Amino acid sequence: MTAVAAWALSLAGNAMCQPATVTACAHPAAQPMSWEHQGRMHGVCVEVAQRAFASAGLALQVQAVGPWSRCQALVERGQVDVMVCAFDTPARRAYAQPLEPPLASNESALFVRRDSRVRFESWADLQGLRIGVGHGVSLGTEIDRQLAAYAQVDNALSEELNLRKLLLGRLDAVATAREAGEALLRSIGCDQAVRALPRSLGAAPLHLQVSRHSPALGSLPALRTYLQRAGYAAEVSQLHRQQAELYRRQNPPRGAEPCGR
């Protein structure tokens, strides 16, 4: 019996009791799309993914597994079924199937010190600059390619570590999601010391991606139907507002800790 056939039988057997469980992981600091707080995952993509799987008769358990690179490795090995809210890249396609249409999209930007003279009008402006990017993080295939071609990319385990390195003068800029970066700066009390450059690096769609080792691949048609229904855009917009407010409540500015210390 194939894994998919076994999965179908599992669904049938659980139809009269409780839904089968699918495991997932997400980026721990990509607010408001996904973030970890006190061992639990939150975010727009987390909520949408759980609702989508529920519509397919499945319970999605989104686990806090640590760094984003660890989440990807677990999905690649088939130890976790689903990667929530990830850019579609050739490397990820080798081990995970992205769901179309995407769950949402994300705009990336460069963050610099408030007094920095760094500008971004074209990729050539980044020639030779030290740009911090989270370890295992993609900003979209084209942005990744341009950064690798022009800048000296420096990886750290988290966006907060990259911002700390920026404040210490060890980086010229940090590349990350604009909204996530701005929310993090407010929470660590550094929004007056660091600013986002106005010109976007670009925007790319965020996908729910299922491990090619997972029998949950058989649920892709049902998940696709959920994302394509008429009220989906309004649902995401409402969730975005709610989750951004939740992140602010959970992460008030650290007033007792001076920025950069």
* Domains of the chain with CATH codes: 3-104+204-250 (3.40.190.10), 107-203 (3.40.190.10)
Q: Which residues contact 261 (CB under 8 A, 6 or more apart)?
A: none
- Please tell me the distance from the alpha carbon of residue 72 to that of residue 143, in angstroms, as a whole number: 19
Closest-CA residue to 184 (of 199, 172, 201, 196): 196
According to DSSP, the β-strands at 40-42 and 58-63 are unpaired
Q: pLDDT of the chain along its 261 residues, tens only?
A: 554 444 544 444 444 457 799 999 999 999 999 999 999 999 999 999 999 999 999 999 999 999 999 999 999 999 999 999 999 999 999 999 999 999 999 999 999 999 999 999 999 999 999 999 998 999 999 999 999 999 999 999 888 899 999 999 999 999 999 999 999 999 999 999 999 999 999 999 999 999 999 999 999 999 999 999 999 999 999 999 999 999 999 999 876 555 755
pLDDT by residue (tens digit) across 103-156?
999 999 999 999 999 999 999 999 999 999 998 999 999 999 999 999 999 999
pTM score of the predicted model: 0.86
Peptide bond into 32 cis (omega under 30): yes
